[in-house]
Structure 1
Amino acid sequence: MDNANIGRHISGQFNHDLENVINQAMHMGGLVEKQLSDALKSISQADRELAQQVLQNDYQINKLDVSIDDECTRIIAKRQPAAGDLRLIMAIVKTVADLERIGDEVERIAQVTLESLSGPQRDLLLSVDDLGHEVLALLQSTLNAFTRMDVKAALKAHKTDEKIDQSYEILMRQLMTHMTENPSSVPQLMTVIWAARALERIGDRCQNICEYIIYFVKGKVVRHTSAEDIKKLI
């Protein structure tokens, strides 16, 4: 992370500690992004092996979640950071927690894929492809904003989630209509709904991370606030 918002300290070790947790969080973000990309590819390419690989790799994300949380706790106990430093550490802790939850949602998508590839729902599952790539683009934008601690980029990504919610609602209406017209398809469509719901939740997690960026840089808590109101507030 290279940003004027990140200060330097007299203690070289404190700088090292902060840079270490920042780099770990960025590495974790990169792993989560790859997991989501691979999960989407496993759907479009009907790749059972890739979906299985996504499931197997989730442990790496969980391991980083624990490691970064422990390191941030150690820094708080040892350095007793104040003001901006404490906000930075709290933003990292919260971001890492949401990245871990995104990893869990990706794991669900991969599991749904494995259950669907050999059945008639495989073609139905392809209907989440557009939504999936919208969510992947949002995740990438969010991680880029986090890397730079860029408030403007965070605001833009935060607002993008509204479009994802709209796409999700449109897809759900289409699926519900299909269920009504083809009652026998309900079991297959439920797996598609689970995958779509997981993607929508990833969008919400990205929005949370954008709010943590704003909290660190501006010192303002903007949870449960619309994108327009956040823009006015900061």
Structure 2
Amino acid sequence: MSEHTSKQFDVELESIRTHVMEMGGLVEQQITRAIEGLVEGDQNLIERVIEDDHRVNALEMALDELCTQVIAKRQPAAIDLRLISAVLKAITDLERIGDEAKKIAKMAKAIHGGALAVPRVQLSHMAEMAIAEVRNALDAFARMDTDAADAVVRADKQIDAEFKGVMRQVITFMMEDPRTISGGIDIIFVAKALERIGDHAKNMAQYVYYMARGEDVRHNKTPKA
């Protein structure tokens, strides 16, 4: 590869990284707005999350096309090929995180649009944990930092525990007051969406090991040291 071609390739890889971060930032914004809409009952904010989902989808398709072009044109090897492969996986997880944010917005719309009795369960802490996990996974991905990636994997267990706690609270409300059953189911769907966001962030963190070391740790209980 000539020096000129090598520089062009570096520019293309940097463009890919920049677009991944842009997509990640948009997805993080979607989650934040969906939760704000749920907490505050802001219908305009809720509708904006639902309408902006197409932007996440468009970024995924653009990145997919960009990665495919780079593979075809440059035929990258070793770490560069692992980077592009990991990006293709990561943008799928980011798109699915966007879908979960959209689900939360739709649940918020149902909760605030009807006359349902809704259990008074706090989801803000779980939401903060999920948003932090996405942000930290993106940071680990950008820096190919396996230590930071390991911290994200560990943090996901805390979100899983938080989800179980929310489930227990909601079920208790529903047993004590059957009028809260419909609203309680909506709250469970929101909590499950946050738990799934954590799962997708964990996936992204695990791709860091593949990029940095060529290790696929997705089905291991813990990454190799």
Structure 1 and Structure 2 fold alike (TM over 0.5) = yes
Provide Cα deviations, 1:154-205, integer angstroms capped at 9, x if missing partner. 1111110001100101111111222222223211111111111100000000
**CA RMSD for the aligned pairs?**
1.7
Q: Name the % identity.
A: 38
Query: Counterpart in 1 of 2:39?
Result: 44
User: TM-score when scaled to structure 2?
Assistant: 0.93
CA distance in 2, matches of 1:217, 1:9: 26
Contact in 2 for aligned 1:43/1:126 (Cα 8 Å) = no
Q: Match for residue 53 of structure 1?
A: 48
Q: Which residue of 1 aligns with 2:87?
A: 92
- Please list the CA deviations of residues 15-63 of structure 1 after superposition, one character each: whole Å capped at 9, or x if unmatched: 1111111111110000001111111111222211101111111111100
Report the equivalent of 1:172: 167
- Of the candidates 139, 160, 164, which is equivalent to residue 155 of structure 2? 160
Does structure 2 conserve the Cα–Cα contact (< 8 Å) formed by 1:179 and 1:186?
Answer: yes
Residue 211 (structure 2) pairs with residue 208 (structure 1)? no
Q: Is the 8 A contact 1:38 1:51 kept in 2?
A: yes
Alignment equivalent of 2:127, drawn from 132, 145, 148: 132
1:1-234 aligned at under 5 Å gives the runs 11-121=6-116, 124=119, 127-226=122-221, 229-230=222-223, 233-234=224-225
Distance 1:66 1:122, change over 3 A: farther
Moved over 4 A (4+): 120-123
Gaps of 5+ in 2: none
Once structures 1 and 2 are overlaid, which stretch shifts more, 195-204 or 148-157?
Answer: 148-157
Deviation of 1:10 (Å): 5.7
Query: 1:108 and 1:89, CA in 2 relative to 1: closer, same or farther beyond 3 A?
Result: same
Per-residue deviation, 1:137: 1.4
